[in-house]
A and B are shown apart, each in its own frame.
Chain A
Amino acid sequence: MGEQISMTVKGNMATALGAKLCRPNVVPAYPITPSTLFPEKMSEFIADGELDASMINVESEHSAMSACIGASATGARVVTASASQGVALMHEMLFIAAGMRLPIVMAVGNRALSAPINIWCDHQDTIASRDSGCLQFYAENNQEGLDLMINAFRIGEDHRVLLPVMVGIDAFVLTHTMEAVKVPAQEDVDDFLPPYKPKYGILDHREPATFGSFAPPEYYQEFKYEQTKAMEKSSEVIDEVFADYAERFGREYCKVSTFQCEDADIILLTMGSMSGTAREAIRKMRGDGKKVGLAKLTVYRPFPEAELREILSKAKAVAVVERNISPGSTGAIYAELAGAFINQKKKPLLKNFITGLGGRDILVETFREIYEKTLEVVKAGEVKEPMEWVAMNEEVMR
């Protein structure tokens, strides 16, 4: 194994370094805060001869994903990046990329959706495309961003999967924050990730085939069934690939990772960069004798139902902390977690906390408040108010 080089980089640079190590052929991209540094860095790598690939500086995110689809269907390894309105603009094409079973990888700087316009972090952009058929990974820090990019290609391109993968890094908290990362050696990534071999045909005049057919009612449902089965199958592929990555590179990933959950009465379920703060809050609360643990969701699609059930069923209550909201319902993870437990005899009380929208800081104090509110639920033995908003600006609310 080659030596892993230590570097101190912003999150966008970390995902760009991860992408570069995967030797993509084509990078169609459009600038958008906070992910712009990704296409900038990829352009530099190409300009400096560090990466043998072509940028396509498209005129919109819709065209970015469209060009990704064209290039991927031609047999190229393809990567792009976007955020917020850009992910929303390419929404249509995300479904088509997945429906055509193209393993395109996209780094997302998770950012709030307008209106009001806001460039800071929440998860609404990718959560809004959860039904597109793309796998979704969320990083806690820049190292995870880098590593998850490399894993994303291997998982998406696996012949049992063949689906696009999104790797989310939180806007500014990660995209623009310098952190130390270890960068694997090129030869080791080459060994981990063989060149992309499409399972079915590609756009090649020597073997003509039609892609993106019109499928009438007697065929459409079977296409969707096969696609859904591939997403389900990706669950075991993720486990295999994460395990292989851990063995080779020494960093372990799980769909859901835990901290101090064994004897916890209350478990905080988090996603993205808030998880680090939650861990710190738990250390402090443990010092005060509170039996609290953390479950961090790294993989949101496929939704790791079985793992979550296994981890969370031992707790008395789970606080689902989310940076997204479906107006008229709850946070997306809460609703899905409730679904995962609905047919179980043994299940924890579930409480949903909406916070961190549009870059609102999620502090150690926020998690203390969440813990106390969840403790009240445990004491009461029931959940009267399933969803609560925390860290509200009371001055504005007056």
Chain B
Amino acid sequence: MTEKEELELFASGHRACAGCGEGTAVRQILKVAGPNTIATICTGCLEVVSTGYPETAWEIPLIHAAFENSAAVAAGVEVALKELGRKEGVNVIAFGGDGGTFDIGFQALSGMLERGHDITYICIDNEAYMNTGIQRCSSTPYGASTTTSPTGKYSIGESRPKKPIAAICAAHGIPYTATANIAYINDLKKKVKKALETEGPAFLHVFAPCPTGWRHGSDDTIEIARLAVETGVFVLYEIIDGDICNLNVTVKPKKRKPVEDYLKRQRRFGHLTKEDIAKIQQEVDEKCDRYGLPKRE
């Protein structure tokens, strides 16, 4: 599909912050999905910025019900479409933020994946509860300062590592799992296309910086998103049929940049000492070795 054929289905004028990674992600995803798509969203930034009555940014049918159930609502939509004979040629996408996916919506997501619905679930991850004001989530990385994991005399900030949500979803044995990043639009769009073409459940984990919560400039969003991949903090891969041995890294930096390049651009990590950064670097190095990524510069 060429750029010209793509429709803008997430209208401009929505109320997302300047530099919001989530808005970019949704816009690009809907370009691939096209108009024959029904979407569900969960409560959070996306709902607030795009559905304020009597306006809507959505040019496709959309339903928002609550926080923890985007996957369950989508299951109802998908089964109803099949029962009513309207599923053919229609995509069902369930969107969730990281809170609605990693934490409160995890049960509904697991149920939907396990039952094998023909739904593409897309988690747009900005690594904390941003809509309520930057609270920690199981998606928040080690060392990040949030309003409920603040740095302080006795605290490094978030003390736990990020939950490996894509691997957990893949472990359900679903046909397609992938990670993606808004700085790698072509990779993201290819994966959306594959996910939608997959019969049965697909899970996409999309990395999307939040200038407000990560405390970086609104014009730095894409650069920071790219640095997450270039440093190996966030690895772009896909897993077919939930087989972890069938993991394919789709974007391999030729040489990996030090994690400090990524961390120092964001004030949520501004308190980290050289030792803290060295510890994070070591963990990222070990992870990248497992994924077969090149050594650090």
- In the complex where A59-B108, A59-B110 touch, is A214 in contact with B48 (Cβ < 8 A)? yes
| A54 close to chain B: CB less than 8 A | yes
| A74 close to chain B: CB less than 8 A | yes
Residues 85-109 of chain A, each 1 if its beta carbon lies under 8 Å from chain B, else 0: 0000000110010001000000000
- In the complex where A66-B108, A92-B66, A96-B65 touch, is A74 in contact with B77 (Cβ < 8 A)? yes
Which residues of chain B have C-beta atoms less than 8 A from A74's C-beta? 38, 76-77, 80-81, 84, 86
- What CA separation (Å) do A92 and B80 show in the bound complex? 22
Are B80 and A219 within 8 A (Cβ)?
Answer: no
- In the complex where A62-B68, A204-B61, A212-B64 touch, is A54 in contact with B83 (Cβ < 8 A)? yes
Residues 212-225 of chain A, each 1 if its beta carbon lies under 8 Å from chain B, else 0: 11111001000000
CB distance from A218 to the nearest CB of B (A): 9
Are B56 and A213 within 8 A (Cβ)?
Answer: yes
Are A67 and B64 within 8 A (Cβ)?
Answer: no
Are A66 and B72 within 8 A (Cβ)?
Answer: yes
- In the complex where A28-B76, A92-B66, A214-B52 touch, is A208 in contact with B111 (Cβ < 8 A)? no
For chain A, residues 320 to 344, give those with C-beta under 8 angstroms from any C-beta of chain B: none
| B193 close to chain A: CB less than 8 A | no
- In the complex where A93-B65, A203-B63 touch, is A76 in contact with B84 (Cβ < 8 A)? yes
For chain A, residues 38 to 64, give those with C-beta under 8 angstroms from any C-beta of chain B: 53-54, 56-60, 62-63
Which residues of chain B have C-beta atoms less than 8 A from A216's C-beta? 52-53
| A211 close to chain B: CB less than 8 A | yes
Are B73 and A219 within 8 A (Cβ)?
Answer: no
- What CA separation (Å) do A142 and B294 show in the bound complex? 70
| B281 close to chain A: CB less than 8 A | no
Where the two chains meet, the residues of B that have a C-beta atom closer than 8 Å to any C-beta of A are 35-38, 40, 47-48, 51-54, 56, 58-66, 68-69, 71-84, 86, 90, 107-108, 110-111, 114-115
Residue of A nearest to B59 (CB): A208
| A71 close to chain B: CB less than 8 A | yes
- What CA separation (Å) do A205 and B35 show in the bound complex? 7
Where the two chains meet, the residues of A that have a C-beta atom closer than 8 Å to any C-beta of B are 25-26, 28, 53-54, 56-60, 62-63, 66-76, 78, 92-93, 96, 100, 203-205, 207-216, 219
Identify which of A25, A76, A203 gathers the most chain B CB atoms within 10 Å of its CB: A203
Which residues of chain A have C-beta atoms less than 8 A from B58's C-beta? 208, 210
- What CA separation (Å) do A205 and B83 show in the bound complex? 16
Please provide the 9 A-B residue pairs with the shortest distance between their CB atoms, ordered closest to farther.
A70-B76, A59-B111, A67-B76, A66-B72, A63-B72, A74-B80, A71-B76, A66-B69, A212-B64
- What CA separation (Å) do A204 and B111 show in the bound complex? 25
Which residues of chain A have C-beta atoms less than 8 A from B111's C-beta? 58-60, 63
- In the complex where A66-B108, A93-B69, A209-B61 touch, is A203 in contact with B38 (Cβ < 8 A)? yes
Are B54 and A219 within 8 A (Cβ)?
Answer: yes
Residue of A nearest to B60 (CB): A208
Are B60 and A69 within 8 A (Cβ)?
Answer: no
- Additional 20 contacts, C-beta under 8 A, given A54-B83, A69-B65, A208-B59: A58-B75, A60-B108, A62-B68, A63-B72, A70-B40, A71-B79, A71-B80, A73-B76, A74-B80, A74-B84, A76-B79, A76-B83, A78-B76, A93-B69, A96-B66, A204-B61, A205-B38, A205-B61, A208-B35, A212-B47
